[in-house]
Amino acid sequence: MTTGVTSIRGFGENSYLTIAEYKNAPTSIDFDNLVVGGNSGAQDAELARVILRATSFLSDYLGQDLTAQGRTETQRVRFNNQGYIALHPNHNPIISLSNFQYGSTPNNLTTLTDPSTCWFEDQQIIIPASDSQLTNSSQGPLAFGGTGAGNRVFVKYTYVAGYVNTTIVTATASATTITVLSGDGFIAGESYRIYDGGSSETITVASTYTYGSTTVPITAALTYTHAAGVAIGNLPNAVKQATILATTAFIKARGDNSLTMAVTTSPSGNISGAQRYGSDLALALDMVSIYRRIR
């Protein structure tokens, strides 16, 4: 007996912040004593894990991972009255569609020859009727046209959705090309921020960019040199700030030897841990609520 295995690919464990981004933020947290007796490498490794847990916390609340990356999903969908297929992926904003397959049975799927003809909206992809080879019949393949409205079809598709949130590999002052760790989500003509403290700058991708490439030509020369590992992307600043707040709350609640400087007061001079840490998390969730996925 052969075991059926899912073709769905949606896992991506990517932090919304780099260690440097958190350290550069005004958090009033001593992040050099997260591991008692640990060296700087151990402290950074633990901070990275806390940032990843804070990211996971926010992603669970949002119902989606906001980092741009490739995903594969399978669905059963119906044709609308105009004979179109409207896909509603589990992640947004949608950036690209690289593969779309459809058919009346899951083991007999036809591949769309040119995904670039599809219509993209913030939370859905529309597959034009004219691009399908499905014929109008009550047996075999289903209708793809007005007369087939309401018929159900199996689909499998691969797409990229989310916000660019990767790191620099090479970026040298005066250069007009940068190299990034992942090319997922970069689009010609779009602008992206390099988060490098006092050397932060914004770049715009040149029209010569090849989608998906990790080599990114830019419209103007870089002002600064950026080290490998520096963050680059267009993840909303509210999401980054929310991740800073959530990370700070997680560190405060650890119960280890990390130092927390008092930044709030109460009439008695004391504030409960639940109130102090909970307010950080509540503010974080409020900041990102606009990006919450409604299913």
Rounded distance, CA 251 to CA 34, Å? Answer: 8
Which residues are CB-contacts of 188 (< 8 A; sequence separation ≥ 6)? 205, 206, 207, 208, 209, 211
Question: Model confidence over 44-71: pLDDT tens digits?
Answer: 999 999 999 999 999 999 999 999 999 9
Residue 22 has pLDDT above 50, yes or no: yes
What single letter denotes the amino acid at residue 121?
Answer: E
Query: What local confidence, expressed as pLDDT, does residue 29 receive?
Result: 83
Residue 238 has pLDDT above 80, yes or no: yes
Q: Are 192 and 232 in contact (CB under 8 A)?
A: yes
Cβ atoms within 10 Å of 174's Cβ, excluding its own: 9
Q: Which of 123, 73, 293, 94 is nearest to 185 (CA)?
A: 94
Residue 254 has pLDDT above 70, yes or no: no
Residue 273 has pLDDT above 80, yes or no: no
Cβ atoms within 10 Å of 254's Cβ, excluding its own: 12
* Size (the chain), residues: 295
Lowest mean pLDDT, pick from 100-114, 148-162, 223-237:
148-162
Write down the mean pLDDT value for the chain. Answer: 85
Q: Pairing relation of β-strands 177-180 and 215-217?
A: antiparallel
Helical segments of the chain, H only: 19-24, 40-62, 237-252, 273-288
Query: What local confidence, expressed as pLDDT, does residue 141 receive?
Result: 40
Question: Model confidence over 112-162: pLDDT tens digits?
Answer: 999 998 999 878 999 986 555 544 343 434 444 433 555 788 999 999 999
Read off the pLDDT band of 261 (50, 70, 90): very low
Tokens 């008692």, residue located? 36
Average pLDDT for 154-174: 96
pTM over 0.85? The answer is no
Tell me which of 210 and 151 has the higher pLDDT.
210
Which residues are CB-contacts of 116 (< 8 A; sequence separation ≥ 6)? none
The DSSP symbol for 142 reads P
Tell me which of 182 and 270 has the higher pLDDT.
182
Q: State the Rg of the chain over Cα.
A: 23
Read off the pLDDT band of 272 (50, 70, 90): very low
